[in-house]
Amino acid sequence: MAGSSLETVRFVVKTIAETAIEKEKEFNELDSAAGDGDFGTTLARGFRSLLAEWKRLEKDTRTGEFLKDVTLILIRYMGGTSGPIWGTAFLRAGTAAGDKQELHRADVSEMFQAAVQGIEERGRAKLGDKTLLDALIPAVESLTKGLSSSKTDKEVLAEAARVARASAEATRDLVAKRGRASYTGEESQHAPDAGAMAVAILFEKISDSWM
């Protein structure tokens, strides 16, 4: 990711959007174990709207500008609790990127860390609460460590995806403390968190599709 450009950021965001739409039914099924069963539909609605406005977004010339425009669309159309959470992640990443046109490895790490912090603050959640953070935090830690090494971008992403998947699967043993699933108490155990699984699937798709 050294020397990553705005086009690379566009690639990642578009991959996330297309995967969220493709996996809508699967995400709903994951959410139905302890939630309302509409997580996939909520995500897909926001990302469909994003892709519908993609041509307009292509006019953005700075990474920060692009990600802030992504934020506005997601918050406007995604709705529910997911809109503010995912919107905040993109907003914080965009703020960290600022006006840079070329992103180096340290910049990418900073963007992901800023996104995590934004989600923690917005959702008032932490590691162990059985949320998407239980996959995202370990994956970002892996990503940050990998980006400071001599590993290739592909190797770094593959390892982060493996960590995300293992961490998401491990949420089966947790009791939900945030969101709709928290209302079910002990019943939220034995099924993985839908948001954490979504994070794992998105990391895997980005890794598999990496240019």
Q: What are the residue ranges spanned by the domains of the chain? A: 4-209
E strands, the chain, are: 4-5, 102-103
Alpha-carbon distances of 30 from 16, 111, 167, rounded to whole Å? 18, 28, 15
Q: Which residues of 102-112 are buried (b: 16+ CB within 10 A; e: fewer)?
A: ebebebbbbbb
pLDDT digits (tens, 9 = 90+) for 18-67: 999 999 999 999 999 877 899 999 999 999 999 999 999 999 999 999 99
Neighbours of 172 (CB within 10 A): 15
What's the CATH fold of domain 4-209? Answer: 1.25.40
* Residue whose structure tokens are 């809109």: 83
Task: Dump pLDDT digits (tens) for 157-200.
Answer: 999 999 999 999 999 988 877 655 554 555 556 789 999 999 99
Percent of the chain's residues with pLDDT above 70? 92
